[in-house]
């Protein structure tokens, strides 16, 4: 059995196989630089990695990064009938045999088998495509142009890839955390925690015999039970200012590491929690937040959507596309000086891309400032025949009612479907429904009951059905996604592999969240990518119907 000891001053491991110690040559290349070769196709010199693949095609950089095929976890993947095998240390540095040894159905020689790799044979397969048995691999495997030093560094990095050593997992338990802040509404907090706790209880009760089943499983099904562990939930409550959350999270984590963080609820930006997860390599699955972190490179946190950032981008695209009908845009956006509305307004201004004849006016309202009839009369009078974008909540929205009844100077009004958490028909004043449109990043209201049929049935069976439909449906989706993913991990409790499986499984679940479709590809972290624009319809304007297709900005 291979043991890897990270004790060289260079940061490279010693590879121990049996009693033989194979030590890579000393090098000035760090393990971090070797990681860049593997993940990004960038050499320590800063130049791009090059390789020759099928039909002698030369590929460079990210095209030939090892992680493209073997994934960040090193546990491989498949595409159609093409299989990219695992290249973690336990797969590379021990012999490959076919079948199950403990069932006496295996072979150690011939096609599909090979001896364990050594440092030299691994460098040879990387550079020449010749495996440890002397067979030439297919040309789909690139032949890399690497120096001895660079090859040593890459091999040293491969020897650090592990598939079963993530914190938060024991032989009997797998630990999860969920986040709640002390500022959230207690009834919303209860709605989320009741679902998680109930699901964990039923999950553990339903799998209490899996250990016995695993011991007596038929050979063709024994893999099914390898991943079973008792699920252990930890509720991490964050208190006070978000500036202090990082220290609180680190304290919780030092007391009990967790394999992943599930769902969660906190007002304001998710940034402190996101940063904690990136720094500690903890997967964070689909928190309930309207202010996710926008990043093209961060890895460990999945979001349902870009939240209010997405709404702003969708509206900007919608209005830009309408320029063909109206050569000039006159837009006024109204928002509170602090909070979610300000964030949405900033993103909208950034994405609208004003032309020379366009105008965009920002009306910021102080937190303590009251909005009354005079406020709206003055604002509308100064910006006649403008499009008004109201990044406002229910209470502020209702203040426009009296003026809107009399004014003919408002061209159109756009309302955030995220900031209005209640039923829009009950909240949006009758007086503005003729000119109001809603940015709506969820499934259309009349289609929502069918979308949530399965999750609502489960909630009803547990006596958990309540008024927080969005929170409850999203939380239940996370739990089902985790359950499905854990089953497919088998005994490979790698956080990176867990993330790769979430990317694959997200759109295959039979249960849904409040979004019409959730899809993820490698590296994607926002599962719902668009929104509708809805308007009020019907004799009494009590129906919401789309005036746009699903807009993906």
The reported pLDDT for the residue numbered 458 is 94
User: What are the C-alpha distances in Å from 513 to residues 343, 451, 516, 517, 530?
Assistant: 24, 8, 8, 8, 14
Closest CA to 362 of 435, 370, 347, 181: 347
Using the predicted structure, report yes or no on whether residue 402 has a pLDDT greater than 50. Answer: yes
Closest CA to 301 of 328, 321, 283: 283
Class of domain 309-440+532-546: alpha beta
- Please, where are the H alpha helices in 41-112? 66-70, 89-92
The reported pLDDT for the residue numbered 430 is 83
**Higher-scoring residue by pLDDT: 173, 431:** 173
Closest CA to 262 of 229, 285, 233, 232: 285
pLDDT per residue as tens digits for the range 306-320? 999 999 999 999 999
Q: What percent of the chain has pLDDT over 70?
A: 87
Mean pLDDT along residues 237-244: 96
- Going along 108-229, which residue ranges are E strands? 143-144, 173-181
Q: Exposure of 399 by Cβ count < 10 A (0-12 exposed, 13-18 middle, 19+ buried)?
A: middle
**CATH 3.40.50.2300 in the chain, residue ranges:** 173-307+448-508, 309-440+532-546
Number of residues assigned to the chain: 553
**Cβ atoms of 181 and 38 closer than 8 Å:** no
The reported pLDDT for the residue numbered 171 is 86
Using the predicted structure, report yes or no on whether residue 24 has a pLDDT greater than 70. Answer: no
pLDDT per residue as tens digits for the range 378-390? 999 999 989 999 9
R_g (Cα) of the chain, nearest Å: 28
pTM of the complete model beyond 0.75:
yes
User: What are the C-alpha distances in Å from 122 to residues 65, 91, 110, 159?
Assistant: 17, 12, 20, 11
Q: Which residues pair with 5 in a beta bridge?
A: 14
pLDDT per residue as tens digits for the range 216-238? 555 444 445 566 789 999 999 99
The reported pLDDT for the residue numbered 55 is 73
- Please, where are the H alpha helices in 306-413? 308-321, 340-352, 373-382, 394-397, 401-406
Q: Which CATH architecture has domain 173-307+448-508?
A: 3-Layer(aba) Sandwich (3.40)
């Amino acid at each position: 059995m291979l043991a890897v000891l990270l004790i060289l001053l260079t940061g490279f491991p010693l590879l121990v196989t049996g009693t033989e110690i194979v030590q890579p040559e000393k090098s000035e290349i760090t393990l971090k630089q070797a990681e860049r070769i593997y993940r990004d196709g960038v050499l320590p010199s800063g130049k791009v990695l090059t390789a020759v693949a099928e039909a002698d095609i030369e590929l460079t950089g990210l095209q030939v990064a090892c992680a493209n095929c073997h994934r960040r976890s090193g546990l491989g993947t498949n595409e159609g009938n093409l299989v990219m095998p695992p290249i973690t240390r336990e797969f590379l540095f021990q012999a490959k045999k076919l079948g199950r040894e403990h069932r006496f159905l295996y072979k150690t020689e011939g096609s599909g088998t090979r001896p364990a790799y050594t440092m030299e044979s691994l460098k040879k397969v990387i550079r020449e495509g010749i495996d440890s048995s002397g067979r030439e691999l297919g040309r789909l495997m690139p032949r890399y142009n690497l120096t001895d030093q660079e090859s040593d560094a890459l091999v040293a990095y491969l020897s650090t890839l592990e598939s079963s050593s993530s914190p938060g997992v024991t032989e009997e338990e797998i630990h999860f955390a969920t986040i709640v802040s002390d500022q959230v509404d207690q009834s919303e907090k209860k709605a989320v925690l009741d679902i998680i706790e109930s699901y964990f209880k039923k999950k553990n009760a339903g799998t209490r015999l899996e250990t016995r089943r695993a011991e007596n499983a038929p050979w063709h099904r024994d893999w099914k039970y390898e991943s079973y562990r008792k699920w252990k939930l930890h509720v991490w409550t964050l208190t006070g200012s978000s500036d202090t959350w990082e220290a609180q999270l680190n304290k919780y984590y030092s007391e009990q590491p967790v394999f992943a963080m599930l769902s969660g609820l906190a007002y304001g930006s998710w940034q402190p929690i996101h940063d904690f997860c990136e720094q500690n390599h903890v997967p964070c699955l689909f928190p309930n937040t309207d202010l996710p972190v926008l990043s093209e490179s961060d890895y460990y946190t999945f979001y349902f959507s870009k939240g209010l950032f997405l709404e702003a981008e969708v509206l900007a695209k919608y209005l830009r596309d309408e320029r063909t009908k109206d050569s000039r845009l006159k837009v006024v956006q109204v928002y509170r000086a602090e909070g979610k509305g300000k964030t949405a307004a900033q993103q909208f201004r950034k994405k609208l891309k004003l032309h020379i004849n366009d105008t965009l006016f920002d009306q910021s309202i102080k937190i303590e400032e009251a909005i009354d009839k005079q406020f709206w009369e003055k604002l509308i009078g100064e910006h006649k025949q403008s499009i008004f974008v109201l990044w406002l909540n229910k209470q502020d929205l209702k203040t426009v009612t009296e003026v809107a009844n009399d004014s003919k100077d408002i061209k159109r009004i756009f309302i955030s479907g995220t900031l209005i958490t209640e039923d829009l028909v009950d909240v949006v004043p009758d007086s503005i429904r003729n000119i109001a449109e809603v940015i709506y990043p969820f499934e259309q209201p009349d289609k929502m009951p069918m979308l949530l049929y399965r999750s609502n049935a489960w909630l009803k069976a547990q006596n958990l059905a309540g008024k927080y439909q969005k929170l409850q449906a999203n939380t239940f989706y996370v739990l089902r996604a985790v359950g499905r993913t854990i089953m497919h991990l088998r005994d490979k409790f790698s956080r990176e592999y867990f993330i790769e499986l979430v990317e694959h499984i997200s759109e295959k679940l039979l249960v849904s969240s409040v979004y019409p479709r959730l899809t993820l590809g490698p590296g994607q972290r926002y599962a719902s990518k668009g929104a509708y624009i809805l308007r009020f319809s019907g004799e009494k304007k009590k129906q919401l119907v789309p005036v746009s297709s699903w807009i993906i900005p």
